Amino acid sequence: MTGGQMAALAVAAVLVFWMVGAYNRLVGLRNKVGAAWQQVDEALQRRGEAVAPLVAAVRDGLVGEGAALDALLTAQAQVAAAADGLRPRPVIADAAQVLVRAEALMAAASARVLALLDLQAELRASDAVAPHVQALRDAEPRLAFVRQLFNDAVQAYNDAARQWPTRLLTRLFGFGTAGRL
């Protein structure tokens, strides 16, 4: 083997080892996004479990506000559907944006219902309603926390995928840009 062939072989070996390392790093970061998504998904499900019992408990007490309650149920259904779309591959940016839009609708609908309940303190304080209101309110800080963990994992993944020369591998191996929540 000549010196030129040895040099070419050494360069090829370095490139292969670099590609394997870069690929493994991206896979590891993608897995961290998936783990963070599982926490978001759990928090979304927990909040979703509080919505239907709350609506059932307050429907008779909020006479004339059926539209607000129906909007809350519809928003929760949209969040659940968006989460179902993101669950298989949490690094799909378009699916994350669908969830962001559904979450905005959910925030508006839940704020409306909670404001209506604040106007009717007696109903809000009743034993049938208070635990559900508290469950809905308790879900929001947890959701905000795990959403931030997810966004941090997405940022690390996206930063790694955009770095030179790793970004050359992103298309080759099908790594895309993940979406933030």
The predicted-structure confidence for 8-32, as pLDDT tens digits, reads as follows 999 999 999 999 999 999 999 999 9
Give the Cα separation of 178 and 159 in Å (integer).
10
The predicted-structure confidence for 47-73, as pLDDT tens digits, reads as follows 999 999 999 999 998 888 999 999 999
| Count of residues making up the chain | 181
Q: Residue 29 domain-assigned?
A: yes
What CATH number does residue 147 fall under?
1.20.1440.20
The predicted-structure confidence for 117-156, as pLDDT tens digits, reads as follows 999 989 888 999 999 999 999 999 999 999 999 999 999 9
Q: pLDDT value at position 133?
A: 94
What is the value of pTM for the model shown? Answer: 0.90
Number of domains in the chain: 1
Domain span at 37 = 3-172
CB 110 within 8 A of CB 138: no
Residue 115, token pair as written in the block: 């404001």
Buried b (16+ CB within 10 A) or exposed e, 72-108: bbebbebbbebbebbeeebbbeebbebbeebbebbee
Q: Residue 178 domain-assigned?
A: no
Q: Residue 180 domain-assigned?
A: no
Residue 77 CA to its chain's centroid (Å):
15
